[in-house]
A and B are shown apart, each in its own frame.
Chain A
Amino acid sequence: MAEQNNGVSSSTTTTQPLWLLAEITYRCPLHCAFCYNPTDYDKHTQNELDTKSWLSVLNQARDLGAAQLGISGGEPLLRDDIEIIVEEAHQLGYYSNLITSGVGLTDKRIDAFKKGGLDHIQLSMHDITEEINNFITDTKTFQLKKKVAAMIKDRGYPMVLNVVIHRYNIGHIKEILEMAEALGADYVELANTQYYGWSLINRNQLMPTKEQIDHAELVTNQYRDKVGNKMKIFFVVPDYYAERPKKCMNGWGEVFMIVTANGDVLPCHSARVIPNLEFPNVKDDSIKGAWYDSPAFNKFRGDEWMKEPCRSCPEKENDLAGCRCQAFLLTGDAESADPVCSLSPNRHVIEKAVLDAQNPELQAKPIIFRTDKNSKRINEGEEKDRLSEFHSVP
């Protein structure tokens, strides 16, 4: 076990997981173009863990130290055992969060969640206009989301709104924040699209320009000054326009653990894109064994695995060489520097991506929405042209 000293863990020992994200199902009534779920998720919709297995996962992860629990998906409300999971989480002492599109949240269910001890609900919102909400999610959910927001507020939950930002809504940041304030939001996360899974294959259709991002950040800062602590606003910076990569997941196997619908235990959402890594699965492995002993979780811990220019970089502790999945997806080498870094020899792939996203011909290609049908088509090898520039082609 790691030594703790004044709340700061030693960097030479393996730390405990603090956050458990339960991606409890990949089934989803929405079809968002920017979803970070794997494009091959259709493989994992038939073999979901049962309730008993999830309760075991919660117990095991809590024993290791996990205290924050996210119940996510897909749409977790498509499962009818969330009430049982919420109750168990509360009894174990988790601070639990239901991450939902709102579809399927009824008065009966939200009352049961409240009674069971669910701590908060994070609701996804998409835009102030019905047109864009319905377009980007490929559903008619705009009115429902406002209704659900009111239900959450009515039950005394902290209102946490998550808005994924992309080309279609980035011009509406001020209006989105006004809507959030009017709905009584306590927290708003403006999450610029990160390009994994479905958003990666729709990158040319989704990526805003640098000018749009800068303007959005300015508007956000002005709004933050205006509302102060009344509504906390987080602006998740898009890394393609940065000079240095993000410290992805706060380090591989440092604090986050994800258990997927079929029981795979992952250090991050998209880790399965990296080839030749065998991830533990809760059907065969303990959570403790997965975290401490599995080759996959140990693969990118610390800095021994790094290549140059990261290995000798004086800044390596700041970002731990960035995101392993992004490095693989964009360069074909999971051990290379995240190409977002301006010191990466592969920075040109990011610059090309930015240029491509401004190319009207590429922009005009249709969005591939996150649907079971499209996931099947991708699994069967269709859309090869579109996928060929990434290293995630199945």
Chain B
Amino acid sequence: MTIEHEDIYKIADHHRFQWEKAQDCYVILFPEGMVKLNGGAGEVLNLVDGVVPVATIIKLLTQKFPDAPNLEKDIIGMIELGLEKTWIQKIN
């Protein structure tokens, strides 16, 4: 599935995304599972809120991490992974 800039995604039903203080990272929780997300993946999913499109996520993270190379490619890659793992779903 191709990820378009106008696509809007949200955390999938029956999944919960939250910050874990003890783990010092974002996690996704779902029936029988828990995935700890590394820094970059957590930053992307933190913006997957069912409101803003992919273009806005790219813009916000580019402002936050102006020196990161290949940022757009990494963000799209993370969204693809999230879809494949069914952590997120498309709503538009």
Interface residues of A (CB under 8 A from B): 1, 4, 6-8, 16, 18-19, 63-65, 67-68, 93, 95, 97, 119-120, 122, 158, 160, 186-187, 189, 229, 234
B66 within 8 A of A: no
The 7 closest A-B pairs by CB, nearest first: A65-B22, A7-B36, A95-B29, A6-B38, A158-B14, A120-B31, A7-B38
Task: Judge whether B49 is part of the interface by a CB distance below 8 angstroms.
Answer: no
| Residues of chain A lying within 8 A (CB to CB) of residue B29 | 67-68, 95, 119
B32 at the interface (CB under 8 A from A): yes
Q: Are A158 and B22 in contact (CB under 8 A)?
A: no
**B 1-42 binary contact with A (CB < 8 Å = 1; else 0):** 000000000000110101010111101011110111111000
Decide: A160 near B31, CB < 8 A? Known: A16-B23, A65-B22, A186-B14: yes
Contact check, A67 vs B20: say whether CB atoms are below 8 A apart. yes
Q: What separation, in Å, do the CA atoms of A7 and B38 have in the docked complex?
A: 5
Q: Is the CB of A160 within 8 A of B24?
A: no
Contact residues in B for A95 (Cβ distance below 8 Å): 16, 29-30, 34
Give complex CA distance A160, B30 in Å: 11
- Chain B contacts for A234, CB-based, 8 A: 32
| Smallest beta-carbon distance A91→chain B, Å | 13
Residues in B neighbouring A122, C-beta threshold 8 A = 31
- CB-CB nearest in chain A for B28: A95
What are 28 A-B residue pairs whose CB atoms fall within 8 Å in the complex?
A1-B22, A4-B23, A4-B24, A6-B38, A6-B39, A7-B38, A65-B20, A67-B18, A67-B20, A67-B23, A95-B16, A95-B34, A97-B32, A119-B16, A119-B31, A122-B31, A158-B13, A158-B30, A158-B31, A160-B31, A160-B32, A186-B14, A186-B31, A187-B31, A187-B32, A189-B32, A229-B86, A234-B32
Q: Are A4 and B25 in touch, CB under 8 angstroms?
A: yes
Number of B positions contacting A (CB below 8 A):
21
Q: Is B23 in contact with A65, judged by CB distance below 8 angstroms?
A: yes
Q: Are A18 and B25 in contact (CB under 8 A)?
A: no
B→A interface (CB under 8 Å): 13-14, 16, 18, 20, 22-25, 27, 29-32, 34-39, 86
CB distance from B37 to the nearest CB of A (A): 6
- Please indicate the chain B residues that have their CB under 8 angstroms from the CB of A6 in the complex: 38-39
- Is A120 touching B14 in the complex (CB atoms < 8 A)? yes
Most A CB contacts (10 A, CB to CB) among B22, B34, B86 go to: B22
B18 touching A93 by the CB < 8 A rule?
A: yes
What are the residues of chain A within 8 A of B38 when measuring CB–CB?
6-7
Q: How far is the CB of B30 from chain A (nearest CB, A)?
A: 7
Q: Please give the distance in Å from B69's CB to the nearest CB on chain A.
A: 18
**Chain B residues with Cβ under 8 A from A158's Cβ?**
13-14, 30-31
Please give, as numbers and ranges, the residues of chain B lying within 8 Å of A8 by CB-CB distance. 36
Among residues of A, the one whose C-beta sits closest to the C-beta of B22 is: A65
CA of A71 to CA of B68 in the docked complex: distance in angstroms? 43
Complex Cα–Cα for A140 and B13 (A): 34
